A and B are shown apart, each in its own frame.
Chain A
Amino acid sequence: MSSRFSPLPLTRENDWFSGFFDADGTIGFSMKNNWPQLIVSVAQKYQSDLLSFKSIFGVSILIDTRTNTYKWDIYSQDDVLDFQKYLTVYPLYSSKKKRFFFTKTLFML
């Protein structure tokens, strides 16, 4: 019964991630040991809602004790560029689109 009502398993060739990231995703920037650090993350109250991000783009989900939410976040250049590659095929529509365009430039610096 549960399989009949559950949606199709998510793949990388799916726009769902860009829609989800458009609303609940964040692109942050900070300085760590005088070195720029880019953080791309998605926060949710329930871990189950983020498992698809983990299975498709890798990287584990951590619990943010400050806000009591689960967070899927990527820091490394490879992971961010991989996610950007996905977003070029399945684009964002919000203001994050402009911000995400700059990530590639940031790594060139």
Chain B
Amino acid sequence: MNQLTQNFNTISKNDDSWNEYLAGLIDSDGSFLISKYGYGSLEITMDIHDGDALNELKQKLGGSVKPRSGAKAFRYRLTRKALLIDLIHRVKGKIRTTKRVTQLKRLCELYNIKFQDRKRNDFVKSFLSITFNS
């Protein structure tokens, strides 16, 4: 299981651009949940026409895509712990909306992951470069 997590971690470092897209998608249509039995999950619900986008997620991250009953929508669900941990490493530090940040923090606490391991210097450096380049 550890090797599986390691493999996913190496993948996640390579496609940073796609991880940013994923973070944006989760920020708007996704949610991180913790069940009352203490199991974490990610859900993303999108329109029935956007099945392709969800299948792209399924191919890259694993999980399942199923149609919602009574609504013209698909729901992508990720529940496996190893895959969820990989996902957290992908989107950590990229999630921006207030609600989602709170949910992600709770999930990180559940899996004992440090929420933000980026050094303060990186933040200051990028902030300065953006401020003085614009």
Report how far A96 CA is from B25 CA in the complex, Å. Answer: 13
Report how far A6 CA is from B98 CA in the complex, Å. Answer: 10
Report how far A17 CA is from B126 CA in the complex, Å. Answer: 18
B36 within 8 A of partner (CB): no
Scan residues 55-95 of chain B and give those whose CB is less than 8 A from a CB of chain A: 56, 93-95
Residue of A nearest to B97 (CB): A49
Number of A residues whose C-beta is below 8 Å from B? 30
Given A16-B96, A95-B47, residue A11 in contact with residue B24 (CB < 8 A) = no
A75 within 8 A of partner (CB): no
A20 within 8 A of partner (CB): yes
Contact call B127/A9, Cβ cutoff below 8 A? yes
Q: Which residues of A contact B (CB under 8 A)?
A: 3-11, 14-24, 44, 46, 48-49, 52, 90, 93-96
Q: Which residues of B contact A (CB under 8 A)?
A: 17-30, 44, 46-47, 49-50, 52-53, 56, 93-98, 101, 115-116, 118, 120, 122-123, 126-127, 130
19 contacts between A and B (CB under 8 A): A3-B120, A4-B123, A5-B101, A5-B115, A6-B123, A7-B94, A7-B95, A7-B96, A9-B130, A15-B18, A16-B21, A19-B26, A22-B28, A23-B44, A46-B97, A49-B27, A49-B98, A93-B50, A94-B47
Q: Which 5 A-B pairs have the closest CB atoms?
A: A19-B24, A23-B29, A15-B20, A23-B28, A95-B49
